[in-house]
């Protein structure tokens, strides 16, 4: 099957027209009335066709702003959340070592603050020690053997 030159020429002309008119703004005739998009009646095979009628026929409660929901008399008020659990002091110290030591070292580096050598070693030891402590204290088995970890 050989390509038709007529189709190639028509396609080339269409592309030339696009390139020639690139950036031009379309002119809209303001005197023409706007046309509404055609609406098709629901297909007779649709499961809910005609069951609820035309929902657009019902006037909204607030004609000026149709998308504003009506005020409800009673709204859902969630219960107070439970208090946050308290962290044990040894785990808090480990977290301070894991998170605080890199922050102190990074701030010293960014602000060009010279820290004594012993303090640098102490911060590195705090990070490594806190990390190891948290790993050792991790529970070995899940809370519930059938728990996949998802919580709602």
What pLDDT does residue 2 have?
A: 58
Contact at 8 Å (CB) between 127 and 97?
yes
Domain boundaries, the chain: 96-136
CA geometry: angle at 44 spanning 40 and 48, to 5°? 90
**What's the start-to-end Cα distance of the chain, in Å?**
62
Contact at 8 Å (CB) between 94 and 130?
yes
The C-alpha atoms of residue 34 and residue 18 are separated, in whole angstroms, by: 26
- Tens of pLDDT, residue by residue over 134-150, are 999 998 877 777 777 77
The C-alpha atoms of residue 113 and residue 76 are separated, in whole angstroms, by: 54
CA geometry: angle at 71 spanning 67 and 73, to 5°? 155
What predicted TM-score, i.e. pTM, was given to this entire model?
Answer: 0.44
| DSSP helix/strand/coil, 57 | helix
- Tens of pLDDT, residue by residue over 54-77, are 555 555 555 566 565 555 557 888
What pLDDT does residue 145 have?
A: 72
Contact at 8 Å (CB) between 104 and 126?
no
């Amino acid at each position: 099957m050989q390509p038709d030159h007529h189709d190639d020429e028509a396609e080339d002309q269409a592309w030339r027209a696009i390139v020639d008119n690139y950036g031009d703004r379309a002119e809209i005739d303001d005197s023409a009335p706007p046309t509404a998009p055609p609406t098709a009646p629901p297909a007779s095979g649709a499961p809910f066709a005609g069951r609820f009628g035309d929902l657009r026929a019902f006037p909204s409660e607030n004609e000026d702003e149709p998308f504003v929901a009506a005020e409800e008399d009673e709204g859902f008020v969630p219960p107070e959340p439970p208090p946050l659990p308290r962290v044990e002091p040894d785990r808090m110290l480990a977290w301070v070592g894991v998170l605080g030591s890199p922050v102190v070292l990074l701030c010293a580096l960014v602000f060009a603050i010279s820290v004594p050598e012993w303090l640098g070693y102490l911060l590195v030891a705090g990070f490594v020690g806190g990390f190891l402590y948290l790993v050792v204290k991790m529970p070995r088995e899940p809370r519930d053997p059938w728990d996949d970890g998802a919580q709602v």
